[in-house]
Chain A
Amino acid sequence: MSSGYKPDILWSPHHADRYVICDTELSLYRIGPAGSSETKAGALPLSEETAATLLAINSDTPYMKCVAWYPKQEPECLLAVGQANGRVVLTSLGQSHNSKCKELVGKELVPKHARQCNTLAWNPGDSNWLAAGLDKHRADFSVLIWDISSKFSPEAVPAEKVRLSGDVDSGLVVTKPLYELGQNDACLSLCWLPRDHQKLLLAGMHRNLAIFDLRNTSQKTFVNTKAIQGVTVDPHFQDRVASFFEGQVAIWDLRKFEKPVFTLTEQPKPLTKVAWCPTRMGLLATLTRDSNIIRLYDMQHTPMPFGDEVEPTIIERSVQPCSESIISSFAWHPSAQNRMVVVSPNRVMNDFTVFERISLAWSSTTALMWACGRHLYECTEDAGQGVAAAEKDIATKMRERAQSHYGHDTVQVWRNHVLAGGDDPQLRSLWYTLHYILHCSAAALQETIGPFKAYSVKVILECTTETRRCWSGSDRQTDVPWYHSEERSLALQLCGWISRGPDIDVEPFLKSLEQEGEWERAAAVALFNLDIRRAIQILNKGASAEKGDLNLNVVAMALSGYTDEKNSLWREMCSSLRLQLKKPYLCVMFAFLTSEPGAYDAVLYESRVAVRDRVAFACMFLNDAQLPRYIDKLANEMKEAGNLEGILLTGLTKDGVDLMESYVDQTGDVQTASFCMLKGSPGEVLKDPRVQCWIENYRNLLDAWRFWHKRAEFDIHRSKLDSSSKPLAQVFVSCNFCGKSISYSCSAMPHQGRGFSQYGVSGSPTKSKVTSCPGCRKPLPRCALCLMNMGTPVSSCPGTGKADEKADLTRDKKLAQFNNWFTWCHNCRHGGHAGHMLSWFRDHSECPVSACTCKCMQLDTTGNLVPSDSV
């Protein structure tokens, strides 16, 4: 065994700047800022900022085994020292001895039989009480509770008995403890329970942790365990106790004291110190022998007590306060957050602050919080710095959209993009597409063309009959092939170029584009319809419009010079200069005019042009071989990019879900995905787990934002479109005998609302004859008034007769329904037909059942309401 004493460290309980190092002697230090005038030249640096000054040394007490600092303010620096022979000596350090201190200093508390004092603890309530834990002696107790204020009475011990104990320094020696506990047992560690100052937790030799109550010392609560080397109560959670044994720490809950709540991972070396952080909830620091690290266990988020099956969440980490040196002991600062001083075997001290882990949390409303130690920082989105709406977080956007009823316009579906803010071209395209799809399918329903809702350009386009058409506006004839078929025109309808009907008339579409000021696009559409004159006219109009671009006139001029001669200067210049045009539609116009028939890649792959326009163009100018290839290629591109414009191609099919998936992956916009998929999609698509996932997530999001009304609206909207999402009945009337729901037999029916009709609530009372439980065939209870089994329709109530006559027919019917309902008092459990009950309680206050004095109606808050039919 090593005879050298390893230094231990103790903070003053009241002076945040003082601590004591004890090894063979006691040294009092004051900690202060390094280099300040207060610190003397001889100060020992503890860290970059702090230094310690030695204030006093006390070497009066040899063979120190443990030290405890007096917990009260006065006397300030009184220490109890437990010695190897079991004596406890009160001593003081560096104090101007005031009277109270003088009386106590030097006092010795001597056990009957000498053995090592292992631990000391001052009672937190009665500071005169000091508990000492000693090694075992066959004939003595191991825990002695001393009253330091007790006076020595020399008569108590016969004089000749004091032969062997050297000092007879009377007045200062106390030999009679207040309480003695734990016979034939050693006490290795003890602590007072902060919850009840009469209770003491002992860690004993015979593998016991025991709680004694001083008011009744014959009773104890105890538990067998190896972990008895040290016990310490969590100052923040007074039922939580840590005890250790060799390399293992066990955490106990005093309310469930049978076994440890959990044990921490075992260390290879024996532990020497375990201490709860006094300034931070649930932080335990442990030190093993000959180690230079302190291990920290954060159990702040560990639920106490937790169920057996839950794995505790403990965050383990280690800190190295001084890089090389081994740590002999450490002590948490009593008030400075997460601060500790560590001391090495050769008394090198180090001031150290454990850095708190920083934890982050997003609120559901985009605010960000982070916490470090006791500080909480909030970060909010800075909207003042010209953050455009497009740059807003998707969650913010979704919140705004949810508030503006986005997705709920089922009549004018395209309007939803306006509700969404109207600034997202993808959403605009999406909702227009959905609008056209729904329109077409509604039309298809009437004309019974295709399968409902499966509309998409990809599905529609199969083969077409070929037709040719000439330039209409130009004076010269050309050879541009122009394809037409029923399917192609349906596709054009989906693209929004033409409205329903047999003829291809883009004029309404051009008009609407003109109205919206999309001059270039209108001109291009006109040109693609081979109406070059109209295109020029549109461009002129655009140039002359308010805020119009005068350059459009120049473009119109260039356009009017169109020639189909292959080698003309016009053609040459146009094909080279068009690339410098900034506006994509102008660019594709010239590309169209300068390209060979059938080779329109410059138009088809101009990504700045809307997909619907490119698809419509393809429908007109690509032949049957080229068209499906192009559509396929474009659809795959859209799918990969998650571009909602591609819904035009895929429709709300599996492909559409794939596309939406990559859109959601990129944007997180489950809102649009949910509404879109609910809106038009066939049943199979709705069953797709991805779609269900988006919907559930959107509902959760609404919950998180506390948009209860929006959530309810969404659920209603959803159940209208997806009948399978309707919630099942949640309240049942169960049979007294078999306990099954009396409406259970119809639970298999899809329409659960029918349950009550089984026992007489249906519209026509004569129809229902079910008066017994469908499960066990036992009769249903009887109405307390008419004594008929429930389920029999109600007879006309004497009290309501007049009112019924006056009532109009519909109201009468409704009343008849309600009159048949079961009602019963939750207090006395008597009841009957709702109609009978209502009329009874109109005149009575007590229950209709004889001998029952329950004032049923008054127990109910609605009992004070006057039934509507009596008004």
Chain B
Amino acid sequence: MELHILEHSLKVASIAKEGIQICTHGLIKLAFLPSKTRCKFFSLTETPEDYTIIVDEDGFKELPESEYLSVADATWLALNVVSGGGSATSSQPIGVTKIAKSVIAPLADHNISVFMLSTYQTDFILVRERDLPMVMHTLSSEFTLLRVVNGETVAANSTGVTNGFVKPKLVPRPIIHPLSSPSNMFCVTSLDPDTLPSVATLLMDVMFYSGGAKETGGQSEDSGHIRFFSFSLIEGYISLVMDEQTTQRFPNNVLFTSASGELWKMVRIGGQPLGFDECGIVAQISEPLATADIPAYYISTFKFDHALVPEENIQSVIGALRTNESTGQ
């Protein structure tokens, strides 16, 4: 297995809902006009609380300074696991589940805080730049570490940092944050970048005017529903997460849909904003899922974490997590 340390230096920011107007220019540029910026990594996730932006340094310049914009002070690096071989059988669990035991748990054991971003194409594990030596030390036994430098992949050596790290105690990880599961179902999809211009206005509507639509429509006052939309454009690949209702608004054949048409339900983690320093949250969720062989997507936002699991598995997921919760208490 290879672990690629990507070259993007990432910022994680939050834009308050009421301040979104002042940022739209920059966001539209980042999302729909990639040739106009040098940004290679852009992700926007809308939650009921705020908009979470993950963007590289080139893209960050497009955003205005504002009181509505709060930025996590650390610089983040994205890690990407590459399976390397084609040996995997098709029934292998996908997404975060796959890397839960090999990456996320060891990082949690070493008290390294991670920020997850799953996309249609792959999973990115964001770690703080200052934690990188520790990360490399932790993962060097499992993975071939490769660092991307100016587009070239080179071997990364964790030199001189092998000493001085405390061997962690392996403790059971109880789930400590409250969980909730909204009633709407989600679709993880993508589209051909060539067709992006044709749906740009629709996407802008979904991204920025959802609040208004919600008020007028009224039907989303339903307490079980959650407003959640994620758009990312990373190295030329588009990934979208939206609820089933929103997909109906897109023309046929634009969104990539799987042959089986799978849908996902959300598990939302956290009652209070989680902050960036606590570690082990992703591990708490993903480990039980991995044990149960349930595929999952995991999207961290500025305040809360979100896991997506197949709709038919939601009950067993809740069950599994609740058991973990109880053992923790």
Interface of A with B (CB < 8 Å)?
A: 1, 3, 62-63, 84-86, 110-116, 135-139, 141, 143, 157-158, 161-166, 175, 180-186, 206-207, 212, 217-218, 220, 224, 226
| SS class, residues of chain A in contact with chain B | loop
Q: A136, B258: Cβ atoms under 8 Å? A: no
> Least Cβ distance of B140 to chain A in Å?
18
Structural contact, B95 and A206, CB atoms closer than 8 A: no
Chain B 249-289 interface residues, beta-carbon cutoff 8 Å to A: 252-253, 255-262
A-B pair number, CB within 8 angstroms = 116
Q: Which residues of A contact B81 (CB under 8 A)?
A: 184
Which residues of the other chain, B, contact A164 by a CB distance below 8 angstroms? 257-258, 261
* 26 A-B residue pairs with CB within 8 Å: A1-B35, A1-B197, A62-B253, A84-B194, A110-B259, A111-B259, A112-B259, A114-B189, A114-B257, A114-B258, A115-B121, A135-B121, A136-B122, A138-B123, A143-B86, A161-B259, A163-B261, A166-B253, A183-B88, A184-B81, A184-B82, A206-B82, A207-B153, A217-B86, A218-B87, A226-B152
Q: Which residues of chain B have C-beta atoms less than 8 A from A161's C-beta? A: 259-262
Chain A residue contacts of B189, Cβ below 8 A:
114
Query: B141-159 interface mask toward A, CB cutoff 8 Å, 1 = contact, 0 = none?
Result: 0000000000111000000
What size tier do the contact residues of chain B reach? Answer: 35 or more
Complex partner residue of A218 from B35, B86, B257, CB under 8 angstroms: B86
In the complex, given contacts A135-B237, A207-B153, what are 8 additional A-B residue pairs having Cβ atoms less than 8 angstroms apart? A114-B189, A114-B255, A115-B121, A116-B192, A161-B261, A162-B260, A184-B83, A206-B4
Say yes or no: is B119 at the interface (Cβ < 8 Å to chain A): yes
A180 contacts across to B, CB distance below 8 A: 86, 90
B214 to chain A, nearest CB (A): 25
CB of B20, distance to nearest CB on chain A (Å): 25
Q: Using Cβ atoms and an 8 Å threshold, which residues of chain B touch A162? A: 259-261
Knowing A1-B193, A111-B259, A114-B257, the reply to whether A138 touches B119 (Cβ < 8 A) is: yes
Say yes or no for B326: interface residue by CB 8 A criterion: no
Query: Which residues of chain B come closer than 8 Å to A184, judged between CB atoms?
Result: 81-83, 122
Q: Name the residue on B nearest A65 (C-beta).
A: B192
Q: How far is the CB of B170 from chain A (nearest CB, A)?
A: 28
**Interface residue from A139, A157, A207, A218 paired with B295 (Cβ < 8 Å):** A139
In the complex, how many angstroms separate the beta carbon of A389 from the nearest chain B beta carbon?
68
Q: Are B260 and A138 in contact (CB under 8 A)?
A: no
A141 to B89 Cα, complex, angstroms: 10
Q: Are A138 and B192 in contact (CB under 8 A)?
A: no
By a beta-carbon cutoff of 8 Å, the part of chain B in contact with chain A is 2, 4, 34-35, 81-83, 85-88, 90, 92, 94-95, 118-123, 151-153, 189-190, 192-198, 237, 252-253, 255-262, 295
Q: Is the CB of A181 within 8 A of B86?
A: yes
Please report the C-alpha to C-alpha distance between residue A353 and residue B188 in the assembled complex, in whole angstroms. Answer: 50
By a CB distance below 8 angstroms, the chain A residues around B4 are: 206
- In the complex, what's the smallest C-beta–C-beta distance from B163 to chain A, in angstroms? 30
Which residue of A has the minimal Cβ distance to B146? A224
A86 and B256: CB pair below 8 A?
Answer: yes
Q: Which residue of A lies closest to B190 (CB)?
A: A115
**Cα separation A206 to B83 with both chains bound (whole Å):** 10
CB neighbours of B123 from chain A (8 A): 138
A137 to B190 alpha-carbon distance, docked (Å):
10
Residues of B within 8 A of A182 (CB): 86
Q: How far apart are the CA atoms of A603 and B22 in the complex, in Å? A: 110
Could you tell me the distance between the alpha carbons of A202 and B94 in the complex, rounded to whole angstroms?
Answer: 23
Q: Which residue of B lies closest to A160 (CB)?
A: B261
- A136 neighbours in B (Cβ, 8 Å): 121-122, 237
Query: 3 smallest A-B Cβ distances: which pairs?
Result: A114-B256, A164-B261, A139-B94
Check B259–A137 contact: CB distance below 8 A.
no
Chain A residues positioned under 8 Å from B87 (CB to CB): 217-218
Shortest CB-to-CB span from B282 to chain A, Å, is 16
Q: Give the complex CA separation of A3 and B196 in angstroms.
A: 9
CB contacts (< 8 Å) of B35 on chain A: these are 1
Chain B residues, CB < 8 A from A111: 259
Q: Does the CB pair B260–A157 fall under 8 Å? A: yes
Interface centre among B118, B153, B190, B192 (most CB of A within 10 A): B192
**Given A114-B190, A137-B120, A139-B94 in contact, is the A185-B82 Cβ separation under 8 Å?**
yes
In the complex with contacts A166-B253, A217-B86, A138-B261 CB distance below 8 A: no
Shortest distance between the CB of B130 and any CB in chain A (Å): 26
| Chain A residues with CB under 8 A of B151 | 226
Chain A minimum-CB-distance residue to B90: A180
Residues of chain A with a CB closer than 8 A to B90's CB: 141, 180
Given contacts A1-B34, A207-B153, A218-B86, contact A165 B122 (CB under 8 A): no
Q: A163–B122 Cα gap in the complex (Å)?
A: 24
Q: How far is the CA of A86 from the CA of B257 in the complex (A)?
A: 10
Q: Identify the closest chain B residue to A217 (Cβ).
A: B86
Q: Name the residue on B nearest A143 (C-beta).
A: B86
**Interfacial chain B residues near A206, Cβ < 8 Å:** 2, 4, 82, 153
- Inter-chain contact A138/B259, CB cutoff 8 Å: no
Asked if residues A165 and B257 are in contact (CB atoms below 8 Å), the reply is: yes
B86 touches A115 (CB 8 A): no
Residues in chain B near residue A212, CB distance under 8 A: 86
A62→B192 CA distance, assembly (Å):
13
Chain B residues, Cβ within 8 Å of A139: 94-95, 295
Identify which of A3, A137, A138 gathers the most chain B CB atoms within 10 Å of its CB: A138
Residue in chain B with minimal CB distance to A202: B86
Give Cα A232–Cα B165 distance, bound, in whole angstroms: 49
Given contacts A85-B192, A164-B261, A165-B259, contact A183 B86 (CB under 8 A): yes
Separation of A220 and B88 alpha carbons in the complex (Å) = 13
Contact between chains at A138 and B95 (CB < 8 Å): yes
